[in-house]
Structure 1
Amino acid sequence: MFENLHKIILQRNNFNEMLFTLEKCMIRAGSRYIRRCFSKSVDSLTIDSQEFITQQNDNFSSVRRKDQKSLKIAILGAPNAGKSTLVNQLIKRSVCPVSSKVHTTQTKADAIYCEDNTQLVFMDTPGLVSTKECKRYNLAGTFRHDPKVSLSIADIIGIVQDVHNTYTRDKINENILELLNDKVNIINKIPLILIFNKVDKIKKKEVLLHLVNILIKNNKSLKFSDVFMISALTGDGIDDLRTYLLDSAKPREWQYEGHIYSSHKCQDIIQQTVRAKLMDILPNEIPYILKVKLEHFDPGSDDNIITVVSVTCPRKNIARLLIRNHKTELIGNRIKQVAIMAEQELRHAFRTPVRLKLVVNFPT
């Protein structure tokens, strides 16, 4: 009798939880529908290719408007969790470098999305690593410093969890916990949201419910104000997350002018994009030892960009790996493939035609 009663109570609790989840989804969907019906689509805007080029000493403060709202979002996660891909999806531009290898993002970058009177500033950071890892792999100090800076100025913190990684998906990364514990006074005042990424790769959806039970209901875990299940690769769930953040914005002056969508200069985005594509196409540690440098940049009067980037190889055999033609490769050599992929990415970032030439340098 008591066993049956216990089962009934559990079923009722699960039913109530499901209703609560459905209610939250309906609220998000309704909010997104209202925004779509009564707001202008940012995708329809035409932007001069020269307008987004920012200088280091630029003053980003815009003219104060009474109805302006903004939100600063710190995106944290382990290396290769999909943070930069997520940010690119959220702002609808490929301004953050993305590759299949770890440590693609090396420095903090602000990616900006504006809709009506609201501005979202996403702070994309390098994947969190320990001090030991920094020394072992000779990583830049930004890997430790930049996440702390983002955390100190954020209005909300998004922790990206890779649910496809069976070894780490059921626990928050230790480096993230260490960082948050160091800033315990800050995180007690800042909402935390948990973002399950790569859900498209999970065949059994029961796995996701199990992870929610582990990471949310555990008394020892972080206190999250909301949970999102998304695929940064396919775009599933991105609209819900963006709408949630737009609705969470605070009344205040924008940090950046409306036409700016990255704190990095256009030239930096080009270099980082080429480097990311080299990381995708070259094996092992080879792309990490290449030097990528912007040699020429010309934003033309006809709203296009012509640019030349050099790739310096430390050894001749690496250069041959880039420029040698392969019979099995329809596109040709690897450097040509990198140029094509980088051009496509940059067109999506700048929304203007881009002509990119890559030059390979090597010791004589």
Structure 2
Amino acid sequence: MLFTIEKYAIRVGSRYLRRYFSKNVDIAVNNTQEFVLQPEDSFTSIRREGQKSLKIALLGAPNVGKSTLVNQLIKRSVCPTSSKVHTTQAKTNAIYCEDDTQLIFMDTPGTVSENELKRYKLANSFKTDPKVSSHTADIIGIVQDTQNLYTRDKINQNILKLLTEDIRNKIPMILILNKVDKLKKKEILLHLVNVFSKGKYSLNFHDIFMISALTGDGVDDLRTYFLDSAKPGDWQYQNNVYSNLTCEDIIQQTVRAKLLDNLPNEVPYCLQVRLEHFDVGPNDNINAIISVTCPTKRIVNLLLNGKGKRLKNIAVVAEKELRYAFRTSVKLKISVQL
């Protein structure tokens, strides 16, 4: 984890975790024992002989499984996920390195219309981040939910508006049919392939993949495809950096995602989640305290129901996911206030 605050010298032996997550920093290696982190406006490319890179923008309607797929592709849960829509609110870069190749996956918020943006008072990032990602990508992957009866055989209109003629002509696109594990009739997949290959929604896809982001089925083949598609170029990140988010960001967003999963209806959307305390111990174990501010006493009681059992379960689930992200022990406490 790399910070964008004042200059820090971090010892490798006891703080390796701090090098795993980055936010617009330039890393100057003085010697084998010390890293000096200097804040910069943009990343400095890391030039290495014979290395390759690829930037992949993942686009899709809300809740099609983009974040779950990214976590499977990089083998770390750096993108918080939940069963509710709009869990991802801004673009996240997730990085995977293998041998001489670096893949940068741009996880984006679900595409929405102007009316939805205003109606639900969504952040402007819902509009700008998919657009920015699609313009800067080397490959665009459109993720389609095959389980959704009403939308699985057509590309979301908001995506079609986003993909201008200029983008379609310059950037190769692939179709990723997700949630295939939920389909009882597999012949539906053949129908979808036929629709997207020959129909008006084909978009001249270079390839079509059938996967389950939840179980990981087909994800290895997709990752291999991206590795094979990489082109000679400078790496944007060090090979031990896995996200452009800080550890603190990931902890906060993960807890928010678990609140979305465990609270009914619109309740979790009105909660304010804030990191109150963060500490990395001598063995790189993480201790964190999250505060959840509720707008009404009724919601406070809902969270503390059953002597706080619901809150404890949320903390346990979040700890498990964070251990998978950071590869170290995580102790998390969640406090609730009005």
Shared fold (TM-score, shorter chain, > 0.5): yes
Q: Which amino acid aligns with 1:152?
A: H
The number of residue pairs the alignment matches comes to 310
Which of 148, 163, 178 is the equivalent residue of 2:131? 148
Please list the CA deviations of residues 51-77 of structure 1 after superposition, one character each: whole Å capped at 9, or x if unmatched: 224244356435411211000000000
Q: Which amino acid aligns with 1:351?
A: R
Q: Which amino acid aligns with 1:50?
A: R
Higher strand proportion (structure 1 or 2): 2
Partner SS, residue 22 of structure 2: coil
- 8 Å contact from structure 1 (residues 113, 120) kept in 2: yes
Partner SS, residue 50 of structure 1: helix
Please list the CA deviations of residues 315-343 of structure 1 after superposition, one character each: whole Å capped at 9, or x if unmatched: 111011111117xxxxx621111100100
Q: Which amino acid aligns with 1:215?
A: F
TM-score (norm 2): 0.89
Higher helix proportion (structure 1 or 2): 1
Please list the CA deviations of residues 44-97 of structure 1 after superposition, one character each: whole Å capped at 9, or x if unmatched: xxx922222424435643541121100000000000000000000000000001
Between stretches 315-324 and 281-290, larger displacement belongs to 315-324
Between stretches 219-228 and 87-96, larger displacement belongs to 219-228
- Residue 186 of structure 1 and its aligned partner are, at CA, apart by 2.2
Q: Is there any run of 5+ residues in structure 1 with no aligned partner, and where? A: 1-46, 327-331
TM-score (norm 1): 0.83
Q: Is there any run of 5+ residues in structure 2 with no aligned partner, and where? A: 1-14, 25-38
Please list the CA deviations of residues 260-306 of structure 1 after superposition, one character each: whole Å capped at 9, or x if unmatched: 10011111100000000000000000000000000011111211111
**Aligned match of 1:342:** 318
Q: Is 1:66 aligned to residue 49 of structure 2? A: yes
% same residue: 66
CA distance in 1, matches of 2:43, 2:331: 29
**Aligned match of 2:275:** 294
Which of 175, 191, 202 is the equivalent residue of 2:183? 202
**Aligned match of 1:49:** 17
Q: Is 1:110 aligned to residue 93 of structure 2? A: yes
Change (3 A) 1:357 1:159: same
**Aligned match of 1:277:** 258
CA distance in 2, matches of 1:49, 1:63: 20
- Aligned-residue RMSD, C-alpha: 1.5
Q: Is 1:169 aligned to residue 137 of structure 2? A: no
- 8 Å contact from structure 1 (residues 50, 299) kept in 2: no
- 8 Å contact from structure 1 (residues 60, 257) kept in 2: no
Q: How does 1:1-364 map to 2 (within 5 A)?
A: 48-56=16-24, 57-58=39-40, 60-61=43-44, 63-180=46-163, 183-219=164-200, 221-325=202-306, 333-362=309-338
- 8 Å contact from structure 1 (residues 279, 287) kept in 2: yes
